[in-house]
Amino acid sequence: MGEVRKLQKKLRQIENLEIKISQSLTPEERVKIFRKAELRTRLAELLLQLSGPQQTPGIVGEGKQEKMKRQVEATSEALPSHSPSATKIPKIPKIPKGEAEPTGRQKKTDSQKETVTRGETGRQEETGGQRETGAGGEQSETCLAVTDTSPKDNQEDAEFTALKASWEKAKFRLRSLEGHSDIITCVVAVDNLVISGSRDTTVKVWHVPTATEQRNLGGHTGGVTCLSAPPPEYCRRLAWDRSLGDKERFILSGSADCCVRIWALSTGQCVKSIYTFNAVTALCFVPEGDGYIITGSDGGKVQAWSWQTMDNCQSINAHEEAVTSLQSQGPLVFSSSSEGGVSVWEGLCTNRDPLRLLHHWDAKVTGCGSQGGRLTLSPRGDRLFVAYGRANLRILNWRTGTVCRLTNHSSIAGVTDCVHQTGGLLIGSCYDLANGESTLNLFSLPQCRYLASLTCADAPRILCFAAWLTGSGGHRWVTGGRDLTVWEQLPSSGKQRGDVTTKRDSRLDASLMESEGDSEDEEHSDDYDDDKEEDYTSQDASESGSTSWLRCVLQ
């Protein structure tokens, strides 16, 4: 297993190297990137060995074995051959089968099943006192309540079965939005418009039904790292002050140039620029009281700005490293950082110190700190879904500090970059380091039960995601990374053929959830001492991976 882990680390470093400084590669870095195909082939060979009958099943999906074999055969002539390692590979503990609620493991029998009660439904039973802020030690046991199977459970199972069957037949048409000259780092949707921010320093507005660029918003002097769209009622207030129409919508953009810019979408005019004195790595809008803009910096600072006056209300040294994500849920604000910490803030609707810290859970609790990667958040009630660059999603109960894992990839070579919720769905992106395949995995909410996976040939790594429902109830998504792509759902009854392959991975079905106490090989996949000549890091692209990207080292 050691060589697999070593190859995974090198491939992650190469992928992050390409993402961060693709326009200023040194000759040595170009050589490292050139070796990506060789490393992928070797990783595919090892994963095929691990997926054999002598090893624990489920490490590599059955459907991918043939693809990996073809990949190995196609590159065998161009690349140096490798003999299989003679080291005995330890068995990976089997993941228990059965369905699960989002905060623990669920086991069904003929007459009864164990279900985890959730705080957001009012049925949560705590096993102990609330963990202290920033507590590290052992995590509290997940509380399980035994209940009899009821007609309601049978109805939910039937509804889930019908939903799963409908997604197995889903068809999507894909269209590319071409115009950015560098990586797309963020996307948001406003009505029929998509707004994208890129490392090329521009913000672009796209009309989705026609797949055309409507406006190019230039003004930032550094890469654009984050976007946010204030609600219509707050846009009307600013539009009134700026003598614009009542239906005007605004967009917020944050950049490595230390500025937050506010744009009027109808005119493309920058109506306000806020200088933050720090490279902006994340932002969100809090729709409480007069409204607040919350920004996060590459140095871990969280700042609050009045929407009414645009003045700075509060500056907090909230995290030790770069703030990677900011999300609001009513009066609550959730922040994450590259060292693995997650904080929960309450908006007090005051012009002075509007944020008050409710909870802080460090990397020992979240389990996301050992990799030093790019955490992205998606809140839902008491639960916080966390993508942190590995094959699993984390589900943190931010009130109690209880953490569970949701399997988002059947192979330990998977990388999850973003997580999103829309229309009763939880959607996790996944990129396979071994074969370069990008996938969107769909789970039903609130149970987080696996539905299906969507992929298309040659899809690039998905770094950002936006989604909404059309007037007819269909799904429309936009994914960003090296390309900006619109995913438009087609009627299942129509004859038009979709561009997307829908499949189901039985390993995700059988291992929806496992408790935090269980082992996970991927958690220590990077714990090895690499030789100096094999070090895939640099001063501008350190092992912290996407952390450096979020720190906006954009030379």
Q: Are residues 84 and 176 in the same domain?
A: no
The pLDDT value recorded for residue 134 is: 42
Q: Are residues 59 and 183 in the same domain?
A: no
The pLDDT value recorded for residue 329 is: 95
Whether residue 355 is contained in a domain is answered as yes
Whether residue 123 is contained in a domain is answered as no
What is residue 458's three-state secondary structure?
Answer: coil
Q: Answer whether residue 548 shows pLDDT above 80.
A: no
Q: Are residues 255 and 389 in the same domain?
A: yes
The pLDDT value recorded for residue 363 is: 93
How far apart CA 9 and CA 219 sit, in angstroms, is 37
The pLDDT value recorded for residue 59 is: 36
Of 92, 117, 150, at which residue does a domain stop?
92
How far apart CA 404 and CA 55 sit, in angstroms, is 26
The pLDDT value recorded for residue 52 is: 55
| Residues found in the chain | 555
pLDDT in tens, 175-222: 999 999 999 999 999 988 999 999 999 999 999 988 999 999 999 999
DSSP state of 545: T
Q: Are residues 320 and 467 in the same domain?
A: yes
pLDDT in tens, 84-102: 333 333 343 343 433 344 4
Q: Which residues of 373-400 are buried (b: 16+ CB within 10 A; e: fewer)?
A: bbbbbbbbebbbbbbbbbbbbbbbbbbb
Q: Answer whether residue 163 shows pLDDT above 70.
A: yes
Of 92, 109, 139, at which residue does a domain stop?
92
* Range in 168-172, 370-374, 434-438 the model is least confident about: 370-374
Q: Answer whether residue 545 shows pLDDT above 80.
A: no
First to last CA, the chain: 37
Whether residue 211 is contained in a domain is answered as yes
Q: Are residues 179 and 75 in the same domain?
A: no
Task: Provide the percentage of residues in the chain whose pLDDT is more than 90.
Answer: 49
How far apart CA 536 and CA 526 sit, in angstroms, is 13
pTM of the entire predicted model: 0.73
How far apart CA 107 and CA 104 sit, in angstroms, is 10
In whole numbers, what is the pLDDT of the chain averaged over residues?
76
Query: Mean pLDDT throughout 75-90?
Result: 36
Whether residue 480 is contained in a domain is answered as yes
The pLDDT value recorded for residue 63 is: 47
Q: Are residues 409 and 296 in the same domain?
A: yes
Q: Are residues 192 and 283 in the same domain?
A: yes
Q: Are residues 179 and 280 in the same domain?
A: yes
Q: Are residues 342 and 235 in the same domain?
A: yes
Can you count the helices (H) and strands (E) in the chain? Answer: 9, 33
Q: Answer whether residue 549 shows pLDDT above 80.
A: no
The pLDDT value recorded for residue 470 is: 86
DSSP string, 37-98: HHHHHHHHHHHHHHTSTTS-TTSS-HHHHHHHHHHHHHHTTTS---PPP-SPPPPPPPPPPS
Whether residue 437 is contained in a domain is answered as yes
Whether residue 118 is contained in a domain is answered as no
CATH number of domain containing 187: 2.130.10.10
Sole residue written with tokens 């950049």: 255
The pLDDT value recorded for residue 149 is: 58
* Bigger pLDDT: 6 vs 339: 339
* Range in 113-122, 245-254, 326-335, 399-408 the model is least confident about: 113-122
The pLDDT value recorded for residue 91 is: 40
The pLDDT value recorded for residue 319 is: 96
Contacts of 432 (CB under 8 A, 6+ apart): 64, 409, 411, 413, 414, 415, 438, 439
Neighbours of 89 (CB within 10 A): 17
Strand order of the sheet with strand 383-387? 376-380, 383-387, 392-397, 402-407, 513-515
Describe the crossing of helices 2-21 and 36-50 by its angle, rounded to 10 degrees: 150
The pLDDT value recorded for residue 494 is: 74
Q: Are residues 205 and 354 in the same domain?
A: yes
Query: Mean pLDDT throughout 115-127?
Result: 40
The pLDDT value recorded for residue 373 is: 64
Whether residue 374 is contained in a domain is answered as yes
pLDDT in tens, 17-72: 665 533 455 677 667 766 767 776 777 777 777 665 433 333 334 444 455 444 44
Q: Which domain holds residue 289?
A: 171-522
Whether residue 449 is contained in a domain is answered as yes
The pLDDT value recorded for residue 201 is: 95
Q: Answer whether residue 130 shows pLDDT above 70.
A: no
Of 35, 64, 92, at which residue does a domain stop?
92
The pLDDT value recorded for residue 533 is: 34
Cis peptide before 93 (omega within 30 of 0): no
Burial class for 174, CB neighbours closer than 10 Å (0-12, 13-18, 19+): middle
The pLDDT value recorded for residue 296 is: 98
How far apart CA 126 and CA 149 sit, in angstroms, is 23
Q: Answer whether residue 265 shows pLDDT above 50.
A: yes
Q: Answer whether residue 515 shows pLDDT above 60.
A: no
What domain count does the chain have?
A: 2
Q: Are residues 196 and 306 in the same domain?
A: yes
Q: Answer whether residue 553 shows pLDDT above 50.
A: no
Q: Are residues 253 and 383 in the same domain?
A: yes
* Bigger pLDDT: 104 vs 209: 209
Most confident of the following: 248-252, 389-393, 525-529: 248-252
